Amino acid sequence: MGIELRSVVVLYAIELLILIVSSIMGFYVGPYLISQSLMNELRSELMSTVDLGPNFIFLHNLAIDTLMAIPIIGPLVFTIALIMTGFILGTYVAFTTSSPIVLIPALVVTMFLPHGIIELMAYAFSTTGSLVLTRKFIKAMRGAGSVTRNDLITLLIYYTISIILLYVAANIEYLEIIRLGSVIKGLVSG
């Protein structure tokens, strides 16, 4: 029983790669698959989360994180959620501007502002826990071991760490939205 930090860091790097590749795909392919009106609706829904506060952001991310923590299906949910996020980001940038260079700051904001780093790390923790227990399940089905109480406790430790990280990330994200929102309003009105 122990936390595999190396595995968490590897998954974090995989998250970054998936987001980059899927956002590039979204930029070039998304406008052919997703309508402008749907993107506007998604944008409006996203902007309304500011009014709902950090707890709404936390609960939304917790639902995704919980699915990622489930053995066997968690890694699939992890992959789908990241591909969708990157694809939608790329599509949004494509509808907003015709320059793929704008993807760079969009990805930097998504991946490297403090909330992004912490949120992606949280997802890496829950998915690592899922993968560890999935490996144990597979070994047990092959008769090469068993799933023990300690294995379940390890999954709960990964999941608990991810919940704490998500709560911190949601509060930071809310503050970033409030701060960036006021900066943007200041630039527009000034």
What are the pLDDT digits (tens) for 93-133? Answer: 999 888 899 899 889 988 999 999 999 999 999 999 999 99
The confidence score (pLDDT) of residue 1 equals: 61
Average pLDDT, the chain: 90
CA distance 75 to 95: 30
| Residue 189 located in a structural domain | no
Percent of the chain exceeding pLDDT 90 equals: 72
- Calculate helix-pair angle for 74-96, 5-33, nearest 10 degrees: 40
In angstroms, the CA 190 to CA 187 distance is: 5
Query: What would the pLDDT profile of 82-95 be if each residue is shown by its tens digit?
Result: 999 999 999 999 99
Q: Do 82 and 15 form a contact (C-beta atoms < 8 A)? A: yes
Q: State the residue range of the domain holding 130.
A: 5-176
Residue 181, domain member (yes or no): no
On whether residue 156 sits in a domain, the answer given is yes
Do the domain assignments include residue 185?
Answer: no
Tell whether the model's pLDDT for residue 66 goes beyond 60. Answer: yes
> Does some domain include residue 184?
no
What is residue 45's predicted lDDT score, i.e. its pLDDT?
Answer: 79
88 within domain boundaries: yes
Question: Is residue 132 situated within a structural domain?
Answer: yes
188 domain-assigned: no
Give the tens place of pLDDT for each residue, 132-158: 999 999 999 999 989 999 999 999 999
**How many domains does the structure of the chain reveal?**
1
Distance CA 95, CA 82 (A): 20
Among the listed ranges 11-20, 38-47, 165-174, which one has the minimum average pLDDT value? 38-47
pLDDT higher than threshold 80 for residue 189: no
Model pTM?
Answer: 0.90
CA distance 45 to 72: 31
Distance CA 83, CA 75 (A): 12
Q: Name the residue with higher pLDDT: 36 or 65.
A: 65
